[in-house]
Structure 1
């Protein structure tokens, strides 16, 4: 390999490496936003935030630097190089913007106590035409992270029938804003619906040690906690909580229905 060719590839690799470093930095900042705000634990696991963001990062972090490595030519004029790099940057930022928007609109917005279970509701789950029914003291689509809500009792049999029919069409009760109420308003119902940890360990005796280890990590005693099923986007988990205060304590990827 001639000295000219060696220099050519050194310059090209340097340009690609710099672009890669910048892309990684941007990805880290994006990750802080996604996992620190929109998909905090356990939502990053239950709602598929990690998978969605991984696709965005892989495409964005690798695509831009690879294009730079392919097109960067030190023999071009400074103007041509700037134009090429600007084009690549715009393409990369457009891809990142689209990916982040996809992650944003699919974000979890509420964890809702749904009478005998908890359900995670995502922004895309709520039909736009129902948003106007959101109680005035509640945020329909919070952008600063998921909130805790509960469902109020049905006013009458007709309302229950209408809500059930909407649910049968694919819009769960928890995704119907007209039924929402503050989480604290359902403390007594949460206490009544709660199930003892001893029951869970009996049902899943082969995972009793894992359950004990998880509870021990919280510093709480099993008899002070209760559990209920948690419905996610494509999976079922179990949530451990204080049955008196309703405080969420821990989560486990265990289908306890």
Structure 2
């Protein structure tokens, strides 16, 4: 005779343990790798929900099948060790996949910002970079700028590389400190009126952001992650103040 109360108790306990492990992974993913708003911009939330939903659903459901109070302690330990190992392997694989998709740099590339994912940078490209841009940051994305080469041949090589899918933001050899692009940022950043003209709804998003900078001092540029958003800056070329879930090119 099947004792469903015992099976559901085992399912609940299994679910709570799985949820606790998933919560630890979520803390790393959402507070370190994908700080707000990059979890939405880069799809980190969807990836984690997909992985954790499978882990939370499939693992505990197996308890309904394998748990039986008539089994010996050794049998239960063996069964749950196998299930736990499979769950842990699946979770580790999922977390490593999310780690590859995490943003490591936010790069100003002249007319826009680009979010660079860990998987966008090859080891070869990193080795060709200059310190401190020879590693993939582990504690959230770092803000940088890029500098076009002055050599004509190198510019042509970069053009062909971009056509092959490796644009300047994926090549650390062209990374420079963000502060060095201040004047270029001041020149390239657009007035808010240009954004409001095509996207009147942007005004509400700006007001909701509750920025300390007066609206008259705000500027904007596009930023590309898994799609286009809008980044708000001050008129002096400072670091980003806010990110709006608005595609400025979508008119």
**TM class, shorter-chain normalised?**
over 0.9
> Are the counterparts in 2 of residues 109 and 122 from structure 1 also a CA contact under 8 Å?
yes
Match status 1:97 vs 2:92: yes
207, 228, 236: which one pairs with 1:244?
236
CA distance in 2, matches of 1:126, 1:218: 33
Two-structure CA RMSD over aligned residues (Å): 1.5
Q: 1:241 to 1:209 in 2, by over 3 A?
A: closer
Runs of 4+ in 1 over 6 A off after TM superposition: none
Match status 1:127 vs 2:122: yes
Aligned length: 249
2, 17, 41: which one pairs with 1:46?
41
1:145-177 residue CA offsets vs partner (Å, 9 max, x unmatched): 110011013222222111111010011210111
Q: C-alpha displacement at 1:119, in angstroms?
A: 0.4
Q: 1:67 to 1:182 in 2, by over 3 A?
A: same
215, 218, 236: which one pairs with 1:222?
215
Q: C-alpha displacement at 1:243, in angstroms?
A: 3.1
> Are the counterparts in 1 of residues 126 and 134 from structure 2 also a CA contact under 8 Å?
no
The 3-state SS of whatever aligns with 2:136 is coil
- Which residue does 1:10 correspond to in 2? 5
- Which residue does 1:23 correspond to in 2? 18
> Are the counterparts in 2 of residues 138 and 182 from structure 1 also a CA contact under 8 Å?
no
> Are the counterparts in 2 of residues 126 and 171 from structure 1 also a CA contact under 8 Å?
no
1:30-54 residue CA offsets vs partner (Å, 9 max, x unmatched): 1111000001112101111011111
Gaps of 5+ in 2: none
The 3-state SS of whatever aligns with 2:241 is strand
Q: C-alpha displacement at 1:139, in angstroms?
A: 4.7
TM score, norm. by length of structure 2 = 0.94
- Which residue does 2:146 correspond to in 1? 151
CA distance in 1, matches of 2:134, 2:214: 34
TM score, norm. by length of structure 1 = 0.92
